[in-house]
Structure formats: C-alpha cells, structure tokens
C-alpha cells in the first residue's frame, strides 16, 4: 500500500513539474528573445545603410559620347554632398510664353475629323515653316527692293499663264525659306531661284502646269531648262522637301469660310463672296512685296487684311 501511494503521488506531481519552468530555463528564454530582437534591429540598420549608401552614388559612363546605341558600360562614383537650393521664380516674371491652346478653335464640328485637332495641326504646320525678313543680311550683294522686283515679276508670269494665286504664294514661300538656308547668293541668281520656285509650285498646285520650256522662255534667255532643273534639285534638298506650307491665301480662305458658315456648315465648299476674296487678296499681294511683312506670321497678315475690309468682330470669330 505504501508503494501504491508513492506512485499516486508521483503521478499527481508530474504535470506540475512539466508546466512550471526552472529559473535557469526562464533566463535562457529571455536571453534568446533579446538576441532575436537585436538581430532584427541590426538587419534593419544594415538595410537602411545600404539604401543611404546607394543614394550617395551616381552612374558615370566610361565611354566617350560618340558611342551610341545599346547599353553603355559604366562605373559608380561617389557623389559629393550637395545642399538643396531653392529656386527663386520671381525673376522669371518678365518673360511671357506663347500658348497655342489659349484661343479655342473657330472651326465648326466636322464629320470627318476633330475640329480641335485640325486647328491645332494647322497652327503647328505654320510654326514649322518659319520665315524671316532678315535673310537679306545673309547675302551682302542683295537689297530688300530686289525681292520686291522679283515677286512682282512672278505675279506677272502667273497672270500670263493664268496660274492660281495659291501657286504664286507657294513660290513666294519657297523663295523666302530657301534664301534663309543660303549665304552670299549673287543677285544674278535671283531670277533663276524665283522662276524655279514658281516651277515647283505649279507642279504642286496646277492641274495643267506650264512646261519647263515655257518657264525658261519667260526669262528671256537668262535661265535655261537645264539651269532650272539643277536649281530645282538644290532647292528641294535645301527645303528638306517640306513643300506644304499654310500660305496667306490659305488662311484667308479659311477665315472667310468660317465667317460665312450658316447653321448647316459646309466647310469643304466655298460659302463666301468671290468678289470679297479678290479685293482682300489684292491687298495681300501688295503687302507681301514688302520684306517687312515677313515679321508677321501668315495668319496674322490674312487677319489684318480681313479686318481692313470687315471688322474686328469678324476677325475674332474667324480666327478664334
């Protein structure tokens, strides 16, 4: 019986000994948790240090700039410490920037395209075909009045061969832009450049363009057919084959069309008076002979001529 009672006491005391931990075991457990916490903190500090160290370096190319394409080999060099600098924007108040989106599109809703996109593309095209009155400074032997004489003669040629007014203004644009790409053109070459400009423009605009023999004939022997062909190639390369400017007459057509549109717009068909167009176009013919007119964009010249014959309200409606 004494043996049974001792066994019973051992069974009753056994769960208690399993649940309770000795002081040595508690101390070891606390030490292990402290080490885990320290290890996590050290790992975090190490990662933060790596990130901070990355920010102190920049990539520098090892190859000269002549090598292009592909992935350039590089090295990492330490960036010196730089203090942040606050930019003072008050000094830029005197500058004003042009914004093509200020004026809304004057075009009506179109069934073949977005009117806003069409208007914006026209503005972008005009900015791409730049012209300037100071091209005479590139040619020491030329005077501004020589350009006026040449353009007046081209107008007469257009009348003789019944060419469109748009053809003349294309030729004028080609001539002015070509002269900006050249230097020290002799005045004896002006007629050849002018008649070649008209030759190119007529092939673009006219249905039945005059033959090259006729263009050579009107120069009274000053320019041969071969001269015109050679100059044509030179001009096309100089102009980079950009031969579709928005001319002054194109702007005038657009303004008059927008002004004349009714409730049911028909943009592709002329809605304005032909007599009114001719009167304003004749004013522009005189205006373009003056080299100072190149100070202004073509759309501005067309709007000014329209304002002279109508009113500022009409111009605002037509030009946006």
Domain boundaries, the chain: 128-238, 246-319
Range ranked top by mean pLDDT from 6-15, 34-43, 126-135, 178-187: 178-187
Of 33-47, 178-192, 199-213, the least confident: 33-47
Q: Say what the pLDDT of residue 206 is.
A: 95
Per-residue confidence at 277, pLDDT binned at 50, 70, 90?
confident
Q: Is the pLDDT of residue 248 over 70?
A: yes
Whether the predicted pLDDT of 153 surpasses 70 = yes
Among candidate residues 132, 235, 244, the one with its CA nearest the CA of residue 193:
235
- Above 80 in pLDDT, residue 212? yes
The percent of residues in the chain predicted with pLDDT above 90, rounded, is 39
Residues 6+ apart with CB under 8 A from 264: none
Answer yes or no: pTM beyond 0.75.
no
64-82 pLDDT, tens digit per residue, is: 454 444 444 555 445 555 5
Nearest Cα to Cα of residue 147 among 107, 117, 125, 178: 178
pLDDT value at residue 101: 46
Structure confidence at residue 298 (pLDDT)? 92
pLDDT value at 222 more than 80: yes
Percent of the chain with pLDDT over 70: 62
Give the pLDDT of residue 229.
97
Provide the 8-state DSSP code for 199: H
Per-residue model confidence (pLDDT) at position 293: 92
Q: Is the pLDDT higher at 17 or at 166?
A: 166
pLDDT of residue 18: 46
pLDDT digits (tens, 9 = 90+) for 297-307: 998 999 999 99
List, in order, residues 6 or more apart from 212 with CB less than 8 Å away.
199, 225, 228, 229
Which CATH architecture group holds 128-238?
A: Orthogonal Bundle (1.10)
Q: 74: helix, coil or strand? A: strand
Per-residue pLDDT, 140: 85
CB 199 within 8 A of CB 212: yes
- What pLDDT sits at residue 66? 46
What value does the mean pLDDT of the chain take?
Answer: 77
Mean pLDDT of 189-204: 96
- Predicted pLDDT at 162: 94
Residue 268: the pLDDT is 57
3-state secondary structure of 60: strand
The pLDDT assigned to 201 comes to: 97
Domain 246-319 has CATH 3.30.530.20: no
Q: What is the pLDDT of residue 106?
A: 67
C-alpha span between 230 and 236 (Å, rounded) = 10
Q: Measured between alpha carbons, how far is residue 279 from residues 45, 151, 188, 221, 252 in Å?
A: 83, 19, 34, 35, 11
Residues whose CB falls within 8 Å of the CB of residue 128, separated by 6 or more in sequence, listed in order: 242
Mean pLDDT value across residues 154-161? 95
Residue 270 has a pLDDT of 60
**Residue 162 region, left (φ>0) first, then alpha (ψ -120 to 50), else beta?**
left
CB contact set of 225 (below 8 Å; sequence gap of 6+) = 212, 213, 216
Tell me the per-residue pLDDT of 3-56, one tens digit each, with 9 for 90 and over.
Answer: 555 555 555 555 444 445 565 556 666 666 666 666 667 777 777 766 665 555
- Whether 246-319 and 128-238 are alike in CATH topology: the answer is yes
């Amino acid at each position: 019986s004494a043996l049974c009672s001792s066994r019973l006491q051992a069974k009753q005391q056994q769960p208690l000994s399993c649940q309770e931990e000795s002081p040595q075991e508690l101390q070891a457990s606390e030490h292990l948790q402290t080490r885990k916490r320290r290890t996590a903190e050290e790992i975090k500090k190490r990662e933060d240090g790596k990130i901070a160290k990355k920010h102190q370096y920049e990539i520098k190319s090892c190859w000269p700039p002549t090598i292009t394409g592909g992935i350039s080999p590089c090295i990492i060099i330490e960036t010196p410490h730089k203090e942040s600098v606050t930019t003072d924007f008050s000094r830029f108040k005197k500058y004003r920037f042009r914004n093509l989106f200020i004026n809304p599109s004057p075009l009506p809703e179109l069934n073949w395209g977005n009117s806003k996109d069409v208007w914006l593309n026209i503005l972008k095209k005009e900015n791409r075909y730049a012209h300037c009155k100071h091209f005479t400074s590139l040619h020491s032997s030329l005077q501004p009045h020589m350009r006026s004489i040449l353009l007046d003669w081209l107008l007469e040629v257009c009348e003789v061969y019944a060419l469109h007014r748009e053809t003349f203004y294309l030729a004028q644009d080609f001539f002015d832009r070509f002269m900006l790409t050249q230097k020290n053109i002799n005045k004896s070459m002006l007629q050849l450049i002018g008649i070649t400009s008209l030759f190119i423009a007529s092939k673009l605009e006219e249905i039945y363009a005059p033959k090259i023999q006729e263009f050579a004939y009107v120069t009274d022997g000053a320019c041969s057919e071969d001269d015109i062909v050679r100059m044509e190639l030179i001009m096309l390369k100089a102009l980079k084959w950009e031969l579709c400017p928005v001319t002054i007459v194109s702007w005038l057509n657009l303004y008059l069309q927008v002004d004349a549109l009714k409730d049911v717009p028909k943009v592709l068909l002329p809605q304005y008076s032909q007599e009114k167009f001719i009167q304003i176009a004749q004013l522009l013919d005189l205006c373009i002979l003056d080299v100072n007119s190149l100070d202004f964009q073509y759309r501005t010249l067309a709007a000014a001529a329209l304002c002279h014959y109508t009113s500022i309200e009409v111009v605002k409606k037509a030009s946006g």
